[in-house]
Amino acid sequence: MITRFAPSPTGPLHLGHAYSAILAHDMARAAGGQFLLRIEDIDQTRSKPAWESQLIDDLNWLGVWWDAEPMRQSERLPAYSQALDMLWNMGLIYPCTCTRSDIAAAMSAPQEGAELSSGPDGLIYPGTCRDEMWFERTFPETHPRPQTATLRMNMALAAGRSDAFDHRIDTPTGGWHSYAGYQETGMGPSGKTGRIEFTPEDMTKGVGDIVVARRDMGTSYHLSVVLDDAAQGITHVIRGADLTEATKIHVLLQHILRLPTPSYHHHRLIRDDQGKRLAKRDDARALSKYRAEGATPSDIRRMVGLPSG
């Protein structure tokens, strides 16, 4: 078993991060496997070295240690570019010049005030730019991939050539997920294991043409995460239930790019007193605040419902 924790250095780690990191770390240790760290710093406008230093210090304080040098996405741009070239040469991606306001306007027309459809990648793209470069996509060998444009995947074409639709995704249905070895470790309560099944129609109507490269990043979360998991040899992805729907996208990309598909385990989310999931803006739940107030790593484990270790 090889698990990972992949934070973005764009703010302080909070209790939700602690829960996910400890869970992935302890699961790997209980199975005699490896735990790896990945710094997801592709957003260079928001990523700060100070936040990276703080998150590493917080993780070490929690007793979370990794078995290799951390991977940094900012150092992997050539790998992302190579994958984009592959998708371009397959005729599956196209440049898009639409802004978010353009998409919202196109989706709400002709009925003002109409409810906009959203999926795991945000607003479902209406396809405004999809057919503008059909000739270039049909003959990619004579039309190189644009290097500075936002690129989207033609989901109808991509889903039509994938066999990813019978993949099993474990979810916290009825509470927690369970998997071989988890119940034996006594690390937490067990629950039911869910199965998500999705069809090409689900992907075209419920997800749409996802962004695979942003103009100012040279990649996207969806593309980089599947390439990085493959590069690190991740066998089990342990992450929050809020990413369950996005896993459909990741499994699809893995099949198209001929990458291995890990086992996915989506854990419950840590929420505030009003039931809202934590975000980095929730400084009141920041680990640094608890540390300054004298909390111990065992206190943090107890707060998120894990054994003291």
Task: Determine which of 67-76, 207-216, 217-226, 267-276 has the lowest per-residue pLDDT on average.
Answer: 267-276
Q: Is the pLDDT of residue 283 over 80?
A: no
> Is the same domain home to 220 and 199?
yes
Task: Please give the C-alpha separations between residue 240 and each of 2, 255, 256, 281, in angstroms, as whole numbers.
Answer: 17, 22, 24, 18
> Is the same domain home to 277 and 244?
no
> Is the same domain home to 233 and 88?
yes
Query: Quick check: helix, strand or coil at residue 229?
Result: helix
Burial of 101 (0-12, 13-18, 19+ CB in 10 A): exposed
> 285: domain range?
1-75+271-309
Q: What are phi and psi of 244, to 5 degrees?
A: -60, -50
pLDDT of residue 270: 83
> Is the same domain home to 32 and 62?
yes
> Is the same domain home to 90 and 200?
yes
Task: Determine which of 27-31, 43-47, 136-140 has the lowest per-residue pLDDT on average.
Answer: 136-140
> Is the same domain home to 120 and 218?
yes
> Is the same domain home to 89 and 121?
yes
Note the pLDDT tens digit of each residue in 141-182. 667 788 878 999 999 999 887 665 555 555 443 333 333 233
pTM: 0.84
> Is the same domain home to 249 and 291?
no
User: Which whole number is the average pLDDT over 127-145?
Assistant: 71
> Is the same domain home to 53 and 199?
no
pLDDT of residue 17: 93
Note the pLDDT tens digit of each residue in 34-82. 999 999 999 988 999 999 999 999 999 999 999 999 999 999 999 999 9
> Is the same domain home to 288 and 235?
no
Give the chain's domain count.
2
Q: Are 299 and 292 in contact (CB under 8 A)?
A: no
* Rounded-to-integer distance, Cα 93 and Cα 109, Å: 25
Q: Is the pLDDT of residue 138 over 70?
A: no
Q: What is the CATH number of the domain that holds 283?
A: 3.40.50.620
Q: What are phi and psi of 72, to 5 degrees?
A: -120, 125
* Rounded-to-integer distance, Cα 4 and Cα 184, Å: 21
